[in-house]
Structure 1
Amino acid sequence: MMSVLERYIFRQVAQSVLAVLLVILGLDVLIAFLDQIGNLNDHYTLTGAVHYVTWTLPRRLYEYIPLGTLVGVMIGLGMMASQSELTVMRAAGVSTGRIVLTVFKPVMLIAIFGLVLGQFIAPVTEQRAQSVRAVAMAGGGAYSASGVWHKEGNTFIFINAVESGERIHGVTRYEFGDDLQLQRSSFARRGEYQQGAWTLSNVRETRIHDAHTEAASLAEERWDSGLTPELLSIVVVEPVDLSISGLWDYSAYLQRQGVSADVYLLAFWAKLLQPLSIAALVLAGISFVFGPLRSVPIGQRIVTGVILGLVFKFAQDLLGPASSVYGFPPLLATLLPILLCCLGGWYLLRRAS
């Protein structure tokens, strides 16, 4: 059972974090909706834009949980510091460590919520959002800017849109031989996954021989591919928006295909270790509140929290590509900013205590 003091700190921190997340999410949704208005056409209507933005809400919330938690904790705890409540608590014999542990109770609940959101909810709604938008914007054409590329063996595949896990639109395939010479290109208007293979309909193909080309049309074609509906639902979504298990499975699939999976492994470790990232940021934020930001205006705390969160994100974003270039593990690229943030926060907190 929490004491009255712990419940008070819990409530102050939780309310501040939730308020910050709602404000950030509201601004992001407004900007996203205004951005979608510029993409409207005969197929992608205003209603479609509203549906798209609505389906992306879980993903947007998940992305802002670390920054929102950091800024919320700094505001909630900072307001208590400005009103000398923290000073009174410490004068009454409540240690800094106990206050920090109490602050981490709502933070860890939010971090666990974020982990569940990123694994089970956001990937599903984001895939739905991208699929609905892609089908509407493709409009049945051969190519679409919203389509996805995929490589399987010597075949390069472009898919206009994925309506559901088992139905695709606008499938273009370029098949190369071992000598890297183009042997066949084809376009299928749609495809459905049936009995372990794709059935493509309205197929137009061109076979390339040494001295001539041969064109043909097929009503249907069976396409045996390792690109199952489960993997396809991963391909159409950006790595950062996939589930933890989906990232791991697709990384293994890419490695079996001989394709680099570093981007997906980086996203996997970033998602799996997000609770640690939140804890590290909050520890650094608390150290600022107890130290150099103890008596500054609330606006300065917000700016400091935003800067700290952005520096942390930029550090991870820079170390990610660096791990591919210099060959160190993606796990290390994700862990290094967390460890540095933890050490810095612990050092400042020790000095403040």
Structure 2
Amino acid sequence: MHKLDRYVGNAVLVAILAVLGVISGLALLFAFIDQLSDLQDGYTLKDALIYVGLTAPRRIYDVLPMSALIGCLVGLGSLASNSELTVMRAAGVSLMRIVWSVMQPLLLLMVIGLAIAEYVAPWTESMAQAHRSMAQSAGKAQSSKHGLWHRQGQEYIHINTVQPNGLLLGVTRYKFNEQRQLQVVSFARQASFQEGTWLLEDIVYTHLEARSSSVNQAEKEQWDVALKPELLNTVVMDPDALPITGLWSYTRYLSEQGLNAKNYLLAFWSKVLQPVVTAMLVLMAISFVFGPLRSVTLGQRVFTGVVVGFVFKIVQDLLGPASMVFNFPPLLAVLLPAGICAFIGLWLLRRAG
């Protein structure tokens, strides 16, 4: 049986890796084409290539579920086309045993995927964002077009660039009173995290009064803010590019600040449950091979996998924002499509068995 497990598992694993390479290549190509519209004097073609290359781990992780679905249809379908699955069944191999043979290499892929999502992709994504931001701002410390916004209490903060080493460039702070009137605007050339606190450098303050304003400067000043370098690395990136631990800590931080954390909570559950979602898609793919797609051509299997994968992705993308609009749990938005796939897969496998 172990030889059979290896044979089936290798056939499926090779097919999944081949499909993963094709889909990842297309994703990187489309990402590069998208960057061409942002080319300017500071942001060159070389910078765009570096940015796309650094975001490759995150894009590979994103397409892993669809690659597993199509790859399983191709790999297991090729065994069905050669009547090898029929011979296995005639020899007394149960359907559940074949399912387990397919799931074994998938478990390895899911572990590797989680490691990429937790340790590799966030680091490379942070480098990509910092490199692009610096290139697009042409080395300037202050830029209104690029950077990120954050709010803490009555203070709104704009940071032009967050470098991977924790250095902030171009920190603009807008302080409001309880009546939402702007009181003070300050701009610091840079900020560094030293001995547990932020140190602002080269600061210019503008104090706004009812009929006048005044400007003063300071070389250095301590900045008391709850944002730590770890949280700032979280803020500067999109939720989908963050590690699971970063998403969880930032979700708690937003909740403590009274801010809406559903977007990050949705990304958290999507990453935590991606192995489950991938397994349910593969289960449905296996049921297709033993059911409706048993005697069709390879092209028809690939087409079916692409259609099912895109429909699944569209449903996921619709349910995520819908959970925020209609106020139902983000966990349900992640589990519902996977549950439907599991139901279809189990129902078809039961009929085939």
Q: How far, CA to CA, are the matches of 1:110 and 1:188 in structure 2? A: 46
Partner of 1:199: 199
Partner of 1:104: 103
In angstroms, what is the RMSD of aligned CA positions? 1.6
Q: Secondary structure at the match of 1:143?
A: coil
Q: How far, CA to CA, are the matches of 2:17 and 2:6 in structure 1? A: 16
Partner of 2:127: 128
| Aligned-residue offset at 1:196 | 2.1
Partner of 2:4: 5
Q: Is 1:186 aligned to 2:186, yes or no?
A: yes
Q: Secondary structure at the match of 1:198?
A: strand
Partner of 1:93: 92
* Counterpart contact for 2:203–2:220, Cα < 8 Å: yes
* Counterpart contact for 1:135–1:162, Cα < 8 Å: no
Q: Secondary structure at the match of 1:43?
A: coil
Q: TM-score, normalised by structure 2?
A: 0.95
| Aligned-residue offset at 1:322 | 2.2
| Aligned-residue offset at 1:38 | 3.5
* Counterpart contact for 1:165–1:233, Cα < 8 Å: no
Partner of 1:344: 344
Partner of 1:118: 117
| Aligned-residue offset at 1:176 | 0.9
Q: How far, CA to CA, are the matches of 1:299 and 1:207 in structure 2? A: 68
| Aligned-residue offset at 1:323 | 2.1
Q: How far, CA to CA, are the matches of 2:306 and 2:151 in structure 1? A: 39
Partner of 1:288: 288
Q: How far, CA to CA, are the matches of 2:316 and 2:112 in structure 1? A: 22
Q: How far, CA to CA, are the matches of 2:50 and 2:295 in structure 1? A: 45
Q: How far, CA to CA, are the matches of 2:345 and 2:144 in structure 1? A: 47
* Counterpart contact for 1:174–1:184, Cα < 8 Å: yes
Which moved further from structure 2: 199-208 or 18-27?
Answer: 199-208
Q: How far, CA to CA, are the matches of 1:67 and 1:291 in structure 2? A: 20
Q: Is 1:168 aligned to 2:201, yes or no?
A: no
- Structure 1 unmatched ranges of 5 or more: none
Which moved further from structure 2: 239-248 or 291-300?
Answer: 291-300
* Counterpart contact for 2:77–2:289, Cα < 8 Å: yes
* Counterpart contact for 2:141–2:190, Cα < 8 Å: no
Q: How far, CA to CA, are the matches of 2:105 and 2:243 in structure 1? A: 24
Q: How far, CA to CA, are the matches of 1:191 and 1:135 in structure 2? A: 16
* Counterpart contact for 2:141–2:169, Cα < 8 Å: no
| Aligned-residue offset at 1:141 | 5.5
Partner of 1:82: 81
Pairing 1:1-353 to 2, within 5 Å after superposition? 3-139=2-138, 140=140, 142-353=142-353
Q: How far, CA to CA, are the matches of 2:127 and 2:203 in structure 1? A: 26
* Counterpart contact for 2:142–2:169, Cα < 8 Å: no
Q: 1:144 to 1:295 in 2, by over 3 A?
A: farther
Counterpart residue type for residue 94 of structure 1: V
Which moved further from structure 2: 308-317 or 263-272?
Answer: 308-317
Q: Secondary structure at the match of 2:221?
A: strand
| Aligned-residue offset at 1:328 | 2.2
| Aligned-residue offset at 1:3 | 2.5
| Aligned-residue offset at 1:187 | 2.0
Q: How far, CA to CA, are the matches of 2:255 and 2:169 in structure 1? A: 27
Q: After superposition, what is the alpha-carbon deviation per residue over 1:289-316, rounded to whole angstroms, capped at 9, x for unaligned? A: 1111111121221121122222222222
Instruction: Percent identity, please.
Output: 50
Q: TM-score, normalised by structure 1?
A: 0.95
Q: Secondary structure at the match of 1:164?
A: coil
Q: How far, CA to CA, are the matches of 2:216 and 2:202 in structure 1? A: 11
Q: Secondary structure at the match of 2:163?
A: strand
- Structure 2 unmatched ranges of 5 or more: none
Q: How far, CA to CA, are the matches of 2:305 and 2:203 in structure 1? A: 55
Q: After superposition, what is the alpha-carbon deviation per residue over 1:155-183, rounded to whole angstroms, capped at 9, x for unaligned? A: 11111111224201121211111111111
Q: How far, CA to CA, are the matches of 2:343 and 2:251 in structure 1? A: 31
